[in-house]
Amino acid sequence: MRFSELSGARVCVWGLGREIRSLAAQLPRLPGARITTAVVEDSADDVATTLGGEVRLVGPDEAVRAAQTCDVLVRSPGVPVGRPELVEIRALGVPVTTATSLWLAERGGRNVIGVTGTNGKSTTATILHHLLAAAGHRVRLAGNIGAPALDLLAEADADWCVVELSSYQIADLAVGPHHAVVTNVYRDHLSWHGGAAAYRRDKLRLLGLPGVRTCTLPSDLTVEGCDLPTLRFGGADGWHPGDDVVAHPDGRCHSIVDFALRGRHNVLNLCAALTAADAAGLAVSSSLGPVLSSIAAPPHRLQSIGRYGGVEWIDDSISTTIESAIAALEAFPDRPIVLIAGGFDRGLDYSALGRAVADRDVVVIGVGTTGPRVIEAARLAGAPADHRLLADDLAHAVSLARAHAVPEGVVLLSPAAPSFDAYPDFEARGDHFTALARADAG
């Protein structure tokens, strides 16, 4: 279904997130299209302000009956496609889609580079947008980072769009981007997708969608049944890290001495971005030094809050996987680290993070629902008792971190878990950490 096909439609929405708000802002472009019903999990006082007009507000228990009075249901990405209510709604013949899917179908995927992956998709999309813009291409950044995709309907000046796509969005996309990028695939969002196999299937579903012409994949990712022209990164057969450079087997090479983003994982993200540009046939500058030095990390991704008493405080609240937290530790190879980790429990195995903590002699402070499990993993890996601390909440964790940090060291919030046990999103968690770190720090 395309966005333009909503003309005259009665629209039901599920959720009031940024994509639904974008939909509400763009629907007046279509004659007769209107949001008539909103399914919300909790009471929402700002429905009229957000959606406009007379909108009927219902809970999930009324969703099936309410959706039957509408022509289409547009879900927020966080609403699982496999929810029993949505399965029943589809069976009744009511289309279920997302705002991003409506936009991609409207554009037919034309000149869209879609970036997904368990880790690094935000950073890779940011780097790619930066490289293309610096080379003079007219390009917009959208999706989970940048503008909601539907907002681009009002813009005619962008020839290319770099769109970050979550597995939540890919799960029921109807049309794919011309160029698909997968940074990596680990275990994540297992409860939303219904298990590790379903998560991997939904993530890699992007490669089989109509409209996709090329794909960019890491050298160590095996994808069965993919017949697309494929470019690889990270190994000797494509863009890969070297000593202070990224290099390509065809002889191209760029210095990364001035690269503003920390860690080998970000060098791999740069390799992914360069490979995606190659796949799309888009040139980047032959001298990347000034470009790489000016790239800013996405909010809450290894962001330096400041130095207080000789200690650097780092906000990596966007880290919701074990792999991303380990990568964050590796970004500071020669500095003493106090790690704050823990959050919403998704039943993951923290033994690898425990080993990384013990191997690096990191002081780890467990917080949130999974805090005790992180601490136990560190104990089993051999971390000494005085390097394993449990905090009541984030404020307590920051207080403990301040007491245990040493000059030239790092206090790192890299939770390896979502925030939903204590905060509405990782942004709120990161903002709270930043405020706590700066309070009385002088």
**Running DSSP on this structure, what letter comes out for residue 118?**
S
User: Residue 119: its pLDDT value, please?
Assistant: 85
Considering only 88-97, 165-174, 312-321, which range has the smallest mean pLDDT? 165-174
What pairs with residue 182 in β-bridges? Answer: 116
User: Residue 16: its pLDDT value, please?
Assistant: 86
pLDDT band at 167 (very low <50, low <70, confident <90, very high): confident
pLDDT band at 187 (very low <50, low <70, confident <90, very high): low
Q: What mean pLDDT do residues 261-288 have?
A: 94
pLDDT band at 203 (very low <50, low <70, confident <90, very high): confident
Residue ranges of the domains in the chain?
A: 3-97, 102-293, 303-438
Give the C-alpha separation, 433 to 397, whole Å: 9
User: Residue 237: its pLDDT value, please?
Assistant: 95
pLDDT digits (tens, 9 = 90+) for 358-384: 999 999 999 999 999 999 999 999 999
pLDDT band at 431 (very low <50, low <70, confident <90, very high): very high
Give the C-alpha separation, 368 to 350, whole Å: 14
User: Residue 189: its pLDDT value, please?
Assistant: 46
198 pLDDT more than 80: no
User: Residue 441: its pLDDT value, please?
Assistant: 65
User: Residue 201: its pLDDT value, please?
Assistant: 78
135 pLDDT more than 50: yes
Mean pLDDT of all residues in the chain? 92
pTM: 0.84
Residue 288: CB atoms within 10 Å: 21
Amino acid at position 144, single letter: N
Q: What mean pLDDT do residues 209-216 have?
A: 96
Q: Where are the alpha helices (DSSP H) in 58-116?
A: 63-67, 84-91, 99-107
210 pLDDT more than 50: yes
Give the C-alpha separation, 11 to 13, whole Å: 6
159 pLDDT more than 60: yes
pLDDT digits (tens, 9 = 90+) for 257-271: 999 998 899 999 999
CATH homologous superfamily for the domain 102-293: Mur-like, catalytic domain (3.40.1190.10)
Give the C-alpha separation, 98 to 371, whole Å: 34
193 pLDDT more than 50: no
pLDDT band at 158 (very low <50, low <70, confident <90, very high): confident
User: Residue 346: its pLDDT value, please?
Assistant: 85
286 pLDDT more than 50: yes
42 pLDDT more than 80: no
339 pLDDT more than 60: yes
Share of the chain above pLDDT 90, in %: 76
Q: What mean pLDDT do residues 294-316 have?
A: 92
144 pLDDT more than 90: no
| CATH number of this structure's domain 303-438 | 3.90.190.20
User: Under CATH, what is the fold of the domain 3-97?
Assistant: Rossmann fold (3.40.50)
Query: CA dist 395 to 48, 341, 364, 398, 439, Å?
Result: 36, 13, 15, 5, 11
Closest CA to 217 of 159, 278, 170: 278
52 pLDDT more than 80: no
pLDDT digits (tens, 9 = 90+) for 219-228: 988 888 889 9
192 pLDDT more than 70: no
Considering only 97-101, 211-215, 279-283, 438-442, which range has the smallest mean pLDDT? 438-442
pLDDT band at 109 (very low <50, low <70, confident <90, very high): very high
194 pLDDT more than 70: no
Q: What mean pLDDT do residues 1-20 have?
A: 94
pLDDT digits (tens, 9 = 90+) for 68-99: 999 999 999 889 898 999 999 999 999 999 99
Could you please report the per-residue DSSP string of 358-387?
HHTT-EEEE-STTHHHHHHHHHHTT--GGG
